[in-house]
A and B are shown apart, each in its own frame.
Chain A
Amino acid sequence: MPTWQLRLLRGRPGSSPRLETYRVELPAEAYLIDAVEKIWAEQDRSLLFRHACHHASCGACGVRVNGRERLMCITPLREFSPDGVIQVEPLRHFPWLGDLLVDVSPMMRRMAEVGFAIIRRDELTADRPLPEGIEQITRFEDCIECGLCLSACPVMAADEAYLGPATLAAIERMLAEPRGGDTARLLTLADDPHGAWRCHSAMECTAVCPSNVDPASAIGRLRRRLIVEKLRRWIGGGR
């Protein structure tokens, strides 16, 4: 079995963080999350990190791997060479709680403000008969609220007040399918210097999103909608 070298960012708020190297033996079919869990289980129980589902649906295990935002549970070890070092650091632009752990509540609060529903009723299967014992078919939204896009965004780096790619994508998603929701409120939320207009099209959110949300395109559609809305109000005399 190959031995992998991991360099993890360690430390707690209040002291300056340092990089520490660990070695773990694992087959090449394993994933980065397995390596980090093994370090936690066998070498250091104080290691802070987050995970739950192990299959890219809870969004808990986002980190930066060699500088790039990834989900640990779908980052295969075979991508790396046992001779090299896999450097793992916490996401940027979130309050740091220690080791690989960050506080994602600022993003979660914004998503809640939008009223983003993670689970929706599935309309594709709406007119089909339900299987025995199943009450309703639901569908997950693409966005798993992992925060990778926020960490990758250079505007987020500079502006804490920026709504951020995930939230703007959520607003656009809600507007596309409002289901009786308050679209005017969402548009006001987006139409802000720190909202849809703050984006500088660095395109990093779409590049790192593990779930094909494509926040960059969503922000573009949101802007188009805001422009049309403005023109309509302007021509229609403030209606």
Chain B
Amino acid sequence: MREVPRWKRASGWIDLRGRREGGLAFLLMRLTGIGLVIYLFLHLYVLRLLAQGPEAWDAFIAMAKSPLFLALDGLLILGILYHALNGVRVTLLGLGIGVPHQARLFWGVMALTLLMTAIAAYAIFTIAG
């Protein structure tokens, strides 16, 4: 019998060959989850500027209003929306609710995510830009 090496097993969840909506939803959930954790750490690290007084923070805010930062902000919102909306989907499915509709729910989550991100991006650029 051939032993599957550990690293290969460990990366099994990334392998999308032969998978459908559910597998893709799971993969994206994980990637956005990892992204959000990284963001959380960065965010809390940046917040230390608040402890350094008004100048440090307001300088940072000025920089955060640059188009590049606002675009990254949009990316963050995209990730949050997907993760949050799919989180609701997964919670229902995980309790056995709506399983026959899971693929349609996935496309619904995708559509809502894109729509809400577009609205949020518009709002960000008009308010902050």
Q: B95, A223: Cβ atoms under 8 Å?
A: yes
- How far, in whole Å, are A158 and B10 apart by their CA atoms in the complex? 5
Given A220-B96, A224-B96; A203-B2 close (CB under 8 Å): no
Q: Which residues of A contact B10 (CB under 8 A)?
A: 158
- How far, in whole Å, are A14 and B26 apart by their CA atoms in the complex? 33
Given A97-B1, A157-B9; A220-B22 close (CB under 8 Å): no
Q: A204, B96: Cβ atoms under 8 Å?
A: no
- Please name the residue on chain A nearest to B30 by beta carbon: A200
Q: Could you tell me the distance in whole angstroms from the C-beta of B1 to the nearest C-beta in chain A?
A: 4
* Total of A-B residue pairs, C-beta within 8 Å: 92
B90 within 8 A of partner (CB): yes
B15 within 8 A of partner (CB): yes
Q: Could you tell me the distance in whole angstroms from the C-beta of B86 to the nearest C-beta in chain A?
A: 10
Q: Could you tell me the distance in whole angstroms from the C-beta of B76 to the nearest C-beta in chain A?
A: 23
Q: A152, B26: Cβ atoms under 8 Å?
A: no
Q: Secondary structure at chain A's binding surface: helix, strand, loop or mixed?
A: mixed
- How far, in whole Å, are A66 and B94 apart by their CA atoms in the complex? 29
- How far, in whole Å, are A160 and B21 apart by their CA atoms in the complex? 24
Q: Could you tell me the distance in whole angstroms from the C-beta of A13 to the nearest C-beta in chain B?
A: 4
A-B contact pairs, 24 of them (CB 8 A): A13-B2, A67-B18, A69-B18, A95-B2, A152-B19, A154-B13, A154-B15, A157-B12, A157-B15, A199-B94, A202-B19, A202-B22, A203-B25, A203-B102, A203-B103, A204-B20, A206-B99, A206-B102, A207-B22, A217-B99, A219-B94, A220-B94, A220-B95, A223-B96
Which chain A residues have a beta carbon within 8 Å of chain B's beta carbons? Answer: 13-14, 64, 66-69, 92-93, 95-97, 103, 152, 154-158, 160, 199-204, 206-207, 214, 216-221, 223-224
